[in-house]
Amino acid sequence: MKKLGILGSTGSVGSQTLDIVRVNREDFELIGLLAKRASDKLLLQAKEFKPKYISCYEDPPKDWLDSLPDGTKFLKGEEGLYAIVEESDMLMNSISGTDGIFPTYLVLEKNKRLLASNKESLICLGRLVKEKRELIVPVDSEHNALFQLLSMVKSQEVKKVYLTASGGPFRNKSLEELKNVSVEEALNHPTWRMGAKITVDSATLMNKGMELLEAINLFDLPVESLDVLIHPQSVVHGIVELIDGSFLFHASQTDMKIPILYSLYYPERRPYPFEKKSLFDLSPIHFEKVDTEKFKSIPLCKWVALMGDVYPIVLVGADQVAVELFLEGKIGFLDIVNLVEEVLSSVNFKEPENIEGILNAIQWAYEKGKELAGVKG
């Protein structure tokens, strides 16, 4: 039995992790579930899965606590996080956004296996991620694909590594049309159902730019060997071009349960327990170049990768505030990447040495973004 903890259990990846645990109960001892809020969903998960610990960052109402099953203990916030990490062998970190950085740090510091689904932490904790690489199985579909593909070849055989992007909802819009897209349009992703932040990041392609930064840390690749291409069907998740002219593709239906299943059982493979599409349902597939005039986030993230140092960390904080301001209707769609760029050009300090410094740098970028956008508070 694997001792499993799920950090961010009520989100999309967290819930789908539990979907797999549900049909493989004998394989997992559920140590803990952690979420941000004391929601009905978290309570339902506690009742169904009866983990040893249930944890969230707010005080639950009395009737919520009273309905917890016998044998499940409530621990608030950090206390819960520490207990779950300490007693688990493997941790799914599916917390979204910058809230996931400290949990990744803790999991790796405690030398536990990390099923890594939090992007921001893989970007901001570059040094630690490189140092503890053997503990990490990436869950993000693209990195999971590349993790599998790169394990099959020698690094000197690799010519280029491609991350595929669906292109988001605005692939076919002109630059002029992009100026006026609404929040509702940006939240309507064609192939994946995800949270608001990552959906907007997919529309700007900032998500893909960040995945490029993630890949550099996860696979120790130079930025020159990485590129992004548009693949609207989201069936091929990663491509490795070899020096002899071959391309290795990793393909599967658009379904996060596949990389989640892989990560839960790595290095073994298990049968997929749900309904599967046929290869014919997945065709045709095609590839396009990224229009970098429209999607400036890609060249911007490549520049950030070349700069290294504190720049990837600042990018994460700046994008967080830029997307929030867009969602609040305070800035336009194209302003998201422009604001991130402005924050990056205000950097006047070096990469921090420790986790506090990293979190402070993100906070600095967040505040700087607000200031540059002219928003008070």
What is the contact surface with Mg ion in residues (CB under 5 A)? 140, 142
Q: Name the pairing type of β-strands 158-165 and 236-242.
A: antiparallel
- Rank residues 7 and 146 by Cβ distance to Mg ion and give the closer one: 146
- Rank residues 142 and 319 by Cβ distance to Mg ion and give the closer one: 142
- Rank residues 287 and 349 by Cβ distance to Mg ion and give the closer one: 287
**Least spacing, CB of residue 195 vs Mg ion, in Å:** 12
**Least spacing, CB of residue 202 vs Mg ion, in Å:** 8
Residue 252: closest CA among 261, 243, 242, 244: 261
Q: What residue type is assigned to position 49 of the chain?
A: F
- Tell me if 114 sits within 8 A of 107, measured CB to CB: yes
**Least spacing, CB of residue 16 vs Mg ion, in Å:** 14
- Rank residues 140 and 255 by Cβ distance to Mg ion and give the closer one: 140
CA distance 250 to 240: 9
- Rank residues 142 and 324 by Cβ distance to Mg ion and give the closer one: 142
CA distance 235 to 249: 10
Question: Reduced to 3 states, what is the DSSP secondary structure of residue 30?
Answer: strand
Cα R_g (the chain), whole angstroms = 20
- Tell me if 372 sits within 8 A of 318, measured CB to CB: no
CB atoms closer than 10 angstroms to residue 182: 11
- Rank residues 228 and 373 by Cβ distance to Mg ion and give the closer one: 228
CA angle 356, 357, 360 (to 5 degrees): 85
The count of residues in the chain is 377
Strand partners for 200: none
**Least spacing, CB of residue 76 vs Mg ion, in Å:** 32
- Tell me if 216 sits within 8 A of 349, measured CB to CB: no
**Least spacing, CB of residue 162 vs Mg ion, in Å:** 13
- Rank residues 12 and 24 by Cβ distance to Mg ion and give the closer one: 12
**Least spacing, CB of residue 341 vs Mg ion, in Å:** 22
Residue 34: closest CA among 1, 62, 18, 57: 57
Q: Closest residue (Cβ) to Mg ion?
A: 140
CA angle 360, 365, 371 (to 5 degrees): 125
**Least spacing, CB of residue 315 vs Mg ion, in Å:** 17
What token pair was written down for 208? 């893909």
CA distance 24 to 8: 20
Q: Is the peptide bond before 169 cis (omega within 30 degrees of 0)?
A: no
What token pair was written down for 203? 């529309």
CA distance 331 to 285: 35
**Least spacing, CB of residue 197 vs Mg ion, in Å:** 13
- Rank residues 229 and 355 by Cβ distance to Mg ion and give the closer one: 229
- Rank residues 282 and 372 by Cβ distance to Mg ion and give the closer one: 282
**Least spacing, CB of residue 142 vs Mg ion, in Å:** 5
